[in-house]
Chains A and B, each alone.
Chain A
Amino acid sequence: DVKVTQSSRYLVKRTGEKVFLECVQDMDHENMFWYRQDPGLGLRLIYFSYDVKMKEKGDIPEGYSVSREKKERFSLILESASTNQTSMYLCASSSRVPFEAFFGQGTRLTVV
């Protein structure tokens, strides 16, 4: 059974804090993704990684960075959290040709 696991279901952080969202997959997938899910805006790609240490910006990378030091782990970093980054964050992984992307359970981040 494919598993994509996000480290937290709910997080509350203060404005200006550095925030780490962690994601781990156990299917040896090459690709990993971070999305924001907001009502009316759908899933917007923040960053995408197609190999260890390789990354590509998505549609909304501003205010975020990522790290992929190991194939199974993809971290999303908010260098200085702001209230407009309050959202649901979804991690996903897929094989090189993404016939199927598998999603984590999501992290609901609230920045106060």
Chain B
Amino acid sequence: AQRVTQPEKLLSVFKGAPVELKCNYSYSGSPELFWYVQYSRQRLQLLLRHISRESIKGFTADLNKGETSFHLKKPFAQEEDSAMYYCALSGQSNTGKLIFGQGTTLQVKP
């Protein structure tokens, strides 16, 4: 079964501090992993995906298969990063089912 766990409901940091949003997954095969973000009064949208190995808005995430984790990191938080962040997993199947975690609210204080 596919499962995504985000252990923190709320992460509050000061502007300029490092940020790490945790994500652990459970899947027996090779997963595709994603981070989605929802800013206030906006639609949920893709932030980044592990397969692209990209940095978006200063955020990076590395897939650690040994620890089954895909934590999201940013070295210096900005106030505009305040949002709800969701980790998501898609198993390597023909259908492309997409499962999300519980979400973490990131609050960046001035």
Contact = CB atoms under 8 A, between A and B. Distances in A.
Contacts of A25: none
Interface in A28-45: 30-31, 33, 35, 40-45
30 contacts: A31-B98, A33-B98, A42-B103, A43-B86, A44-B100, A45-B97, A45-B99, A45-B100, A48-B95, A48-B97, A50-B94, A50-B95, A50-B96, A50-B97, A56-B97, A58-B97, A59-B99, A90-B44, A92-B44, A92-B98, A94-B96, A97-B90, A98-B90, A99-B51, A100-B49, A101-B36, A101-B98, A103-B43, A104-B43, A105-B43
Nearest to A54: B95
Contact of A40 (B9, B88, B94, B99): B9
Contact of A101 (B9, B46, B101): B46
Nearest to B104: A42
Interface residues of A, number: 29
Contact of A97 (B43, B96, B103): B96
B86 to A, nearest CB: 6
Nearest to B103: A42
Interface residues of B, number: 23
A96 interface: yes
